[in-house]
Amino acid sequence: MTTYLVTGGCGFIGINLVRALTQRGEFVRILDNLSTGKKDDAKLPGIDLQIGDIRDLGAVTKACEGVDKVVHLAAHTRVVDSVENPQVNFEINAIGTVNVLRACRSASVKKMIFASTGGAILGEQEPPVHEGMVPRPVSPYGASKLAGEAYCSAFHGSYGLNTVMLRFSNVYGPYSYHKGSVVAQFFRDLMQKKPLVVYGDGLQTRDFLYVDDLVEAILLADSIDTPGEAFQIASGRETSIRGLCETIRKVIPGLKFDVRYELARKGEIQRNYASIEKARRMLGYTPKTKLDDGLKSTWQWFLSFLGEPLHNR
Ligand SMILES: NC(=O)c1ccc[n+]([C@@H]2O[C@H](COP(=O)([O-])OP(=O)(O)OC[C@H]3O[C@@H](n4cnc5c(N)ncnc54)[C@H](O)[C@@H]3O)[C@@H](O)[C@H]2O)c1
């Protein structure tokens, strides 16, 4: 049995990963400050939940004691919030990540997997984006994640820490009810019979990745050694926001809704999808879930979850 620390393990991706790890019989500790994550979602047998903040080196050092591997997910995750408050974003994503790396080093952790981002660190580039491109973040969120990657690379180079950076695309799926990302926002709005709000002309594109495929990529990066490497983890498909609205209409028959267009938001990129060739080649990664199927399962999850009023969670 391997002991894992999952920072941010009470969040959307965290809960999905923690469930997969416990199903494999691994021992999991979570470090989370519950700023967006929910304690109840992590109430699984055998989980050691430590409530603390990654900005607190003492808390991170304690959480790393006796740990074999760390998946570092805890972060200030919203582009729009980072534009409003770049300082907090820097403290959580850059300093917090350095704290996690320092604690991994002190505890002789065997591997540290860092949750990075594809679109936000690279900025406006001609897609498909790939690992060979020079990053040009256009938001403080992208800049802080790039700083996190730089420190992961540096801790590998300077101290031999086995770090790997996974650049997630736009992830959707169960347990995302609190997220500001587009699929979660649309599904919350649909549950409340509100129109879907599209910022800009809706022709902007994203690469939507179902969370099970992301968890599979994390498990592959865990099992295969590629120290100091960065990988795009995405579906490899480009979907416009208008296209997403149409797919939702198709996969949820009978659901009637309007789409309202508003001004584009600052710091958001126009086109994004990724090449996943490197992850395919070096990790054997192949995303399996089609957008239609992923949206159907996510909608089913929202329906079952929102049996309870949202404000109770
Ligand atoms: N969801 C996506 O589409 C996506 C895309 C690219 C990258 N990522 C990255 O994946 C990771 C997980 O994202 P998510 O979508 O699950 O977000 P989330 O907000 O659901 O989860 C983040 C978790 O971290 C915790 N947290 C936040 N600040 C903390 C702090 N200072 N100390 C301790 N815990 C803290 C929150 O309580 C939450 O449980 C993040 O690093 C994010 O930047 C996510």
| pLDDT of residue 33 exceeding 50 | yes
Q: Which mutation among 39, 61, 77 tests ligand 1's pocket best, with the greatest number of atoms within 8 A of CB? A: 77
pLDDT at position 253 is 82
Q: Whose CA is nearest to atom 34 of ligand 1?
A: 32
262 CB-near residues (< 8 Å, 6+ apart): 197, 198, 199
Q: Residues 4, 141, 151, 285: which is the catalytic one?
A: 141
Considering the entire predicted model, what is its pTM? 0.96
120: its two tokens: 């936000």
Mean pLDDT of 276-289: 98
- Least Cα distance to 169 among 223, 112, 128 occurs for 128
pLDDT at position 267 is 63
- Which atom of ligand 1 is the closest one to the Cα of 145? 43
Sheet holding 229-233, edge to edge: 48-51, 27-32, 3-7, 69-72, 111-117, 163-168, 229-233
H or E element, residue 117: strand 111-117
Per-residue pLDDT tens over the stretch 298-313 = 999 999 987 643 443 4
Q: Cα separation of 274 and 260, whole Å?
A: 28
pLDDT at position 41 is 84
Q: Quote the Cα angle for 57-58-63, to 5°.
A: 95
pLDDT at position 250 is 94
154 CB-near residues (< 8 Å, 6+ apart): none
DSSP-assigned letter for residue 224? S
- Least Cα distance to 54 among 4, 104, 18, 111 occurs for 104
Q: Is 291 in the pocket of ligand 1 (CB under 6 A)?
A: no
Q: Which residue has the higher pLDDT, 67 or 271?
A: 67
For residue 142, how far is its CA from the centre of ligand 1 (angstroms)?
A: 14
- Sign of torsion over alpha carbons 145, 147, 149, 155: negative
Among 47-56, 155-164, 251-260, which is the least confidently predicted range? Answer: 251-260
Q: Measured between alpha carbons, how far is residue 213 from residues 9, 12, 17, 177 in Å?
A: 17, 14, 11, 19
Would you tell me how many other CB atoms lie within 10 Å of the CB of residue 78? Answer: 17
**Exposure of 130 by Cβ count < 10 A (0-12 exposed, 13-18 middle, 19+ buried)?**
middle
pLDDT band at 13 (very low <50, low <70, confident <90, very high): very high
pLDDT at position 307 is 62
Q: Cα separation of 199 and 112, whole Å?
A: 36
Residues of the chain with CATH 3.40.50.720: 3-171+208-233
Kindly state the percentage of the chain with pLDDT values over 90. Answer: 87
pLDDT at position 43 is 85
Q: Is 177 in the pocket of ligand 1 (CB under 6 A)?
A: no
- Which atom of ligand 1 is the closest one to the Cα of 175? 20
Q: Which residue has the higher pLDDT, 243 or 45?
A: 243
304 CB-near residues (< 8 Å, 6+ apart): none
Specify the CATH superfamily of domain 177-206+238-272+289-312. Answer: UDP-galactose 4-epimerase, domain 1 (3.90.25.10)
Q: Does the active-site annotation cover 141?
A: yes
Per-residue pLDDT tens over the stretch 128-137 = 999 999 999 9
Mean pLDDT of 176-199: 94
pLDDT at position 311 is 40
Q: Which residue has the higher pLDDT, 58 or 118?
A: 58
3-171+208-233: CATH number: 3.40.50.720
Would you tell me how many other CB atoms lie within 10 Å of the CB of residue 293? Answer: 12
Mean pLDDT of 227-241: 98
For residue 9, how far is its CA from the centre of ligand 1 (angstroms)?
A: 8
pLDDT at position 208 is 98
Q: Is 99 in the pocket of ligand 1 (CB under 6 A)?
A: no
Q: Cα separation of 41 and 10, whole Å?
A: 7
Mean pLDDT of 140-161: 98
Residues of the chain with CATH 3.90.25.10: 177-206+238-272+289-312
Q: Cα separation of 118 and 168, whole Å?
A: 6
Q: Is 216 in the pocket of ligand 1 (CB under 6 A)?
A: no
Among 106-115, 251-260, 302-311, which is the least confidently predicted range? Answer: 302-311
For residue 308, how far is its CA from the centre of ligand 1 (angstroms)?
A: 23
